[in-house]
Amino acid sequence: MAIVSTTESFQPAEFSAHLFDLDGVITPTAEVHMRAWDQMFSDFLTSRDIAEPYTDQDYFDHVDGRPRYDGVRAFLLSRGNELPEGEDGDPVDQPPGAETVRGLGNRKNEQVLSLIRDEGVEPYPGTVAYLDSLPSGARLAIVSSSRNAEEVLTGAGLRDRFEIIVDGNVAAAEGLPGKPAPDTFVRAAQQLGVEVTDSVVYEDAVSGVRAGAAGEFGAVIGVDRGAGATALRDAGATIVVQDLEELL
């Protein structure tokens, strides 16, 4: 396999499988997630009289690319807070004294779904152009921490492009650790029947890039939607682009 280090040296046809993160790579729903996390955590901090505000950097440092509840735990830890774990079905409208990790995560998810229903989902044009350019017979999968991947892809009109979806629901059902562990990407390659060395990972999150690097995939394409090119390279990205259209 050729060494991949620049956009010029990257040849998609040399790889059989292409494994895409969803939010921030296929659709700009990462922006929706950022808004929902901001609203949820800001409300939480205010309710607890915590002065240090939630910021966009908190999103990239603690939340981006992680499974929902892992993101809640990581952010709370960054502020020296802990909450009971709770249950998956914990309600979103609990009073502050009864909040749980899963209740906060569920509150954020309800806000995301509300924003998606109200505003719709449009895929990145550059990503659609890149998907159109991939060779006939290329095997495509979505690997996302989101539990809403099916709904988002359907709303974006792209569900039929992908053979396999390994999302937060699959990870929970199969006991797969989330990113930055490589297991969900490895599982997608296994389901496609393709070796990891013959597969490309496309990620915008530092945690997702780390997962691709840890899994020793054939190439890891970092898509810089705000995490920063240096951070993505340091995490193990083979190439960093601002849009997949740059790979055409």
Active-site residue flag, 90: no
Catalytic entry in 21, 38, 90, 183:
21
Cβ–Cβ < 8 Å for 169, 47: no
The closest of 183, 160, 240, 173 to 206, measured between CA atoms, is 240
The label of the residue with tokens 């915590």 reads: 50
Beta-carbon contacts of 169 under 8 Å, excluding residues fewer than 6 positions away, are: 147
Catalytic entry in 23, 70, 167, 183:
23
Active-site residue flag, 118: no
Which neighbouring-strand residues pair with 239? Answer: 221
Q: Look up residue 127 and give its two tokens.
A: 């990503």
Beta-carbon contacts of 144 under 8 Å, excluding residues fewer than 6 positions away, are: 21, 22, 23, 165, 166, 167, 168
Q: Cα 126 to chain center, whole Å? A: 18
CA distance 146 to 152: 10
Q: Describe the crossing of helices 183-192 and 206-214 by its angle, rounded to 10 degrees.
A: 60
As a whole number of Å, the end-to-end CA separation of the chain is 20
CA distances from 179 to 57, 88, 122, 124, 150 (A): 18, 19, 25, 23, 19
The catalytic site residues sit at 21, 23
